[in-house]
Amino acid sequence: MNRLFERHKKRKVTRLDGFWQFKIDPNQVGEREKWYQNFPEDSQPILVPGCWNNELGLYHYEGAAWYQREFQTTKSQVNLVFYGFYGLIKVYVDGKEAGSQYGGFSGYECLITGLTPGKHNLVVLTDNTHNNSNTIPLARVDWFHYGGLFRSVELMEFDDAWIKDYRIDYQLEQIDESTANTVYLDISVTIQNFTTSGTNELKLYLDDQLLAVKPVNFPDSAAEISIEITDTAVSGIKLWSPDQPNLYLVRLELDNDDITERIGFRTITVRDGKLLLNNKEITLKGINRHEDHPDWGFAMPLNLMKKDLDIIKNLGCNAIRGSHYPNAPIFLDLLDQEGILFWEEIPMWGFPEHALQDPLTLERGLSMHELMIKRDYHHPSIIIWGLHNEVDTRTQAAYKVTKAFAEKIRSLDTTRPITYATMHPLEDICLSLVDLISINKYFGWYHDRIEQWQNFLHQFKVKMKTEGLTGKPIIISEFGAGALYGENTFEQQKWSENFQDAYLDYTLNLFLNDPDIIGTYIWQYCDIRSAKELEMNRPRSFNNKGIVNEYRKPKQAYWTVQKLYTGA
């Protein structure tokens, strides 16, 4: 399943999940030998969605790999949607390249036209090779480079025209959670028309109620048409909030095609050092979460996502940071339903100066932001866009990249605040570019003593005054300590559960009582596999700072955090 609601009543969609043929290509011979025309006979079956690293014998495989299967169509235009992969994807249909993309976590759509109805051969190359200069992420990160088609693949079929793209914006007449509101919808739609001329109608529904009908005139030749449906007033709307996550289905219908989006109406703003949701001050009680499990990697089943959310809600959290990449669309749907606030970011982690200077880094980063915002713009749970994580923001190179990212995001979305997580807060030269200041620090774990947190916060607030940053809310976006599940010591030794427990008790108490700090995100929810580049720094090759282990069993700190977050 990809979404938690019915996306199409009319459009024909087939899930291409299940067994595909698979072969790794460590020497990169596949393109030369044209595997896309003659798929190797010694290929093996593999399940999609899935990460190949969870297959026996492929744990550490990083590089190119090929997938193959057939699909059947009754129409001549299809859109192949790959919801998740890592790095590069190239798609071949009937022996010819149909398209490619660099990215992965925000998916890829590959449109193929002019097909003869019937059976077709589909071959996909994906490559998760990394370097330390311009791949996003770099090779050196603190999570596992799982490869493969790790989310579903869908086949969509069309007649002569389809709804290619849409964007739903709205204005609220008043912002009041306690009563029904009137909203004004502004919708823009891109329709792609392949062969016909003539006219048609675009219909707009909200929860099955027809709101507007707009004539569409197709020109004689194949073309893309933009349609605007503006200022449609709807009354009786209840706002979306963590306590009452009210959701509405917006449906667009064009002859034989249709698409449904699910939205919630709310505002999120920054004012005088505070974060306001529906004009009410909100404190983010958060946690960082990777999409990881030893048996599934990134290809987490829905049941596990639901369990994670239950555990996180039970902890007293109202916020999650999707460290460090766009999460599965279905997980975002769950967050919308459960009223959990989400920070989403691209996987740009730990870039040093030379990598920030690489022009490909900027190009890829901009495109990843665009893909992420396009895919996820309509989720009410997303309240923050994250630009990057722990890049060297003491440098001019970082300033240039951060400025370009901030401008790009603001050109696509003016409704959400932006931030990035800094690891050099005192020397950072980019903080003026964003709306929220987010700090990652590990005093008392990697360096210094835990008490250094107090000095640091004092120094940082002085810096804010001197540099004119006052008024930007502060978030502590990472803090934590490693604990090996089951390890307990009489003294508080590092790597023990009781050390982690005392660490989070001290730090959380400090932050929750500081009026300038509007949010905390504990590092981290569960223990995760780390990349092989870090295995000598990480016991078990895991990052063990989870407050539950990789199988979601609670460590001692879970209960302490629960007390502090729930105020019990």
Binding site for ligand GCB (CB under 6 A): 142, 323-324, 389-390, 423, 440, 478, 523, 543, 545
Nearer to ligand GCB, 155 or 423 (CB): 423
Minimum CB–partner distance for residue 142 and ligand GCB (Å): 3
User: Considering the complex, what minimum distance in angstroms separates the CB of residue 324 from ligand GCB?
Assistant: 6
Q: How far is the CB of 429 from ligand GCB (least distance, A)?
A: 19
DSSP string, 404-450: HHHHHHHHH-SSS-EEEEES-TTT-S-GGGSSSEEEE--BTTTBS-T
Supply the minimum distance, in Å, between the C-beta of residue 537 and ligand GCB. 9
Residue 371, C-beta contacts closer than 8 angstroms, at least 6 positions apart: 103, 106, 107
CB nearer to ligand GCB: give 446 or 551: 446
Closest CA relative to residue 375, chosen from 154, 124, 225, 166: 166
Nearest 5°: phi and psi at 407? -65, -40
Query: Shortest gap between Cβ of 143 and ligand GCB (angstroms)?
Result: 7
How buried is 174 (Cβ within 10 angstroms: 0-12 exposed, 13-18 middle, 19+ buried)? Answer: exposed
Pairing of strands 268-271, 274-277: antiparallel
- For ligand GCB, give the closer residue by CB, 250 or 481: 481
Q: Which is nearer to ligand GCB, 68 or 440 (CB)?
A: 440
Q: Tell me which H or E stretch contains 396.
A: helix 396-412
Residue number with CB closer to ligand GCB (122 or 391): 391
Cβ-Cβ contacts under 8 Å for 498 (sequence gap 6 or more): 488, 489, 492, 556
> Minimum Å distance from CB 286 to ligand GCB?
14
In whole angstroms, the minimum distance from the beta carbon of 552 to ligand GCB comes to 18
- Which CB, 435 or 478, lies closer to ligand GCB? 478
* Residue 118, Ramachandran bin (φ over 0: left; ψ between -120 and 50: alpha; else beta): left
Pick the closer one to ligand GCB by CB: 202 or 476. 476
Asked if residue 475 lies in contact with residue 519, where contact means CB atoms within 8 angstroms, the answer is: yes
Smallest distance from the beta carbon of 481 to ligand GCB, in angstroms?
9
CA dist list (Å): 342 to 285, 289, 294, 350, 568:
11, 11, 24, 21, 24
Alpha helix ranges (H) inside 83-229? none
Of 158 and 351, CB closest to ligand GCB: 351
Dist CA 336 CA 288 (whole Å): 17
Q: Which is nearer to ligand GCB, 361 or 440 (CB)?
A: 440
Smallest gap from Cβ 386 to ligand GCB, in A, equals 11
Shortest Å distance, C-beta 291 to ligand GCB: 13
DSSP 207: T
- Residue whose Cβ sits closest to ligand GCB: 142
Beta bridge partners of 165: 190
Smaller CB separation from ligand GCB, 62 or 390: 390
The owner of tokens 């803090």 is: 479
Taking the least distance from each CB to ligand GCB, the nearer of 155 and 502 is 502
The C-alpha atoms of residue 393 and residue 420 are separated, in whole angstroms, by 10
Q: Which CB, 324 or 472, lies closer to ligand GCB? A: 324
Give me the least distance between CB of 317 and ligand GCB, in Å please. 18
In angstroms, what is the minimal distance from the CB of 374 to ligand GCB?
25
Strands (E), 173-279: 181-193, 198-206, 209-218, 223-237, 248-254, 257-263, 268-271, 274-277
The 8-class DSSP code of residue 513 comes to T
Spacing of C-alpha 154 from chain mean position: 19
CA 361 to mean position of chain CA atoms:
19
